[in-house]
Structure 1
Amino acid sequence: MKLEFIPLYEAFEKYEDRCPICKIIEQEEKVYCERLLEDEILKDPEMYIKIGQTNFCRYHLELLNNSYDKLGLAIALKANISHKLQQIEEMSKTLKKKRRRKIEKEKCLVCKYLRERDAYHVHILLDILESDKDFVEKHSKGFSNLCFHHLDVLIGLAKNIAPQIDKIIELNKSTIEKNINDLEWFITKFDYRFHDEPWYDSKDSIERALKLLGGGYYD
């Protein structure tokens, strides 16, 4: 087995109740945010510039704020705010000019990293599906919980693995249909006529729907 295959094999074994790829990205997000505030990263001139120039999204600013390293966060924020002040000063100098130079805004550094990691893991999964024809069958539970984002990306990139993709689509179709039925029953339960009826599997239907829809939030 190739070394790069191992994280996905482990994810599909451990995280059967949600999208395994989302779970990997979630773990890498936490590690990356913590590393951004470490001394060796902040002392790297190239990385320090990147941190200063990025436009951290609101979500990742909150995640960084929840980090244990407040000193690292303060240094990163100083770099970021200082850069933005410099941009404002440059813009103010060109206000009287007819053609103002547009200042390009960098996207969130963490979101960019996660997009790259997401694409990497999807391509590795495609390699696994090509080399291991039984992978879908062995991990049907994990595949049945792929989020819409990763299911869509897999379908879009699949070339030589049509039979595996067909299996994955069927697995997800069953899960999605069950989620719809459970949501429908959840809604029905709010009708007083069904007050005494059991909830069945509908109590967590909203949480399952959010996981289904919430994959690939980084953009």
Structure 2
Amino acid sequence: MKEQLYTIPVMDAYREDCECPVCSMYNSLELKAIDFTMGPSYMEDDIRAVTDKIGFCNTHIKQLYNNQNRLGLALMLKTHMDKTIDDLTKLSGSEKISAPSLFKKKTESKGVPAYIEALKHSCYVCDRIEMTYKRYLITVFYLYKKESEFRDLFRASKGLCTNHYADLYQMAPEQLSGDMLQSFLADLNKLYLDNMKRVRDDLSWFIDKFDYRYVNEPWKNSQDALPRTIQKTNSFQVE
């Protein structure tokens, strides 16, 4: 393949004992993106031009703040605010607002609302992660098609969270075809559903353990069922 493949991080993630190897890949990318953003790179003009324009989402602004480079974050947010103020000053000064007509079709927002809506859905860290994340998923399909060792790891894994199951399911017809596509989807569906049921059953026993009738029964595999469930349903690893 002409574009870069990431066979080592993908194989490493599937060798881990985790509820979703794709979550593991994504979290690794996220940590690297946070470290990159808060490292010396934030002083580079081309990177600051992007962070000034698009800013950060709620999730990643919290992680950037927890990184402890408060001066670096302050500098980025200050120039981001400068640009936002300048842009909205121009837009709000030139925009003519009229009352909506009952008979006029609604059109897409523009001007100030469109600017703010775009800002709400933009994030430098998200964009940096996505550049590599899709290549990781493409590598999953490449390895499944080419490497029997990976197929064994894939089938022996503990499944996926719902979000990453959906990502692989939707991408599969773009990356595979024929018998290989059908084999992948069969493995993917079985892995996801079997392991969702496994964690669901662990969660059910966790709930039962709060009933006095089961107080003296063993916990089995349920003591960490709640954080594992949260990963399955929300792609979030509880620390």
Candidates 184, 190, 193, aligned match of 2:204? 184
Q: Determine the structure 2 residue equivalent to 1:9.
A: 11
Task: Tell me how far 1:134 sits from its aligned partner.
Answer: 4.1
The normalised TM-score by structure 1 is: 0.84
Q: Determine the structure 2 residue equivalent to 1:110.
A: 125
Q: Residues 162-217 of structure 1: CA distance to partner in whole angstroms, max 9, x if unpaired?
A: 21332233233222111111111222222233333222211111111111122389
Q: Is the 8 A contact 2:37 2:125 kept in 1?
A: no
The count of aligned residue pairs is 212
Q: Determine the structure 2 residue equivalent to 1:35.
A: 36
Superposition RMSD in Å? 2.5
- Is there any run of 5+ residues in structure 1 with no aligned partner, and where? none
Matched, 1:66 2:66: yes
Q: Residues 11-61 of structure 1: CA distance to partner in whole angstroms, max 9, x if unpaired?
A: 222x2223222112212211211211333x233322211101114112211
- Is there any run of 5+ residues in structure 2 with no aligned partner, and where? 99-109
Q: Is the 8 A contact 1:133 1:164 kept in 2?
A: no
Q: Is the 8 A contact 1:16 1:145 kept in 2?
A: no
Amino acid aligned to 1:133: S
Q: After superposition, where does 1:198-213 map in structure 2 within 5 Å? A: 198-213=218-233
The normalised TM-score by structure 2 is: 0.77
Q: After superposition, where does 1:18-33 map in structure 2 within 5 Å? A: 18-33=19-34
Change in CA separation of 1:52 and 1:172 when aligned onto 2, cut-off 3 Å: same
Paired with 1:150 and 1:212, the residues of 2 have a C-alpha distance of 9
Q: Is the 8 A contact 1:136 1:164 kept in 2?
A: no
Stretch moving more, 98-107 or 76-85: 98-107
Amino acid aligned to 1:109: Y
Q: Is the 8 A contact 2:56 2:125 kept in 1?
A: yes
Amino acid aligned to 1:132: E
Matched, 1:127 2:123: no
3-state SS in 2 of match to 1:197? coil
Q: Determine the structure 2 residue equivalent to 1:151.
A: 165
Task: Tell me how far 1:115 sits from its aligned partner.
Answer: 2.9
Q: Determine the structure 2 residue equivalent to 1:164.
A: 184
Matched, 1:89 2:89: yes
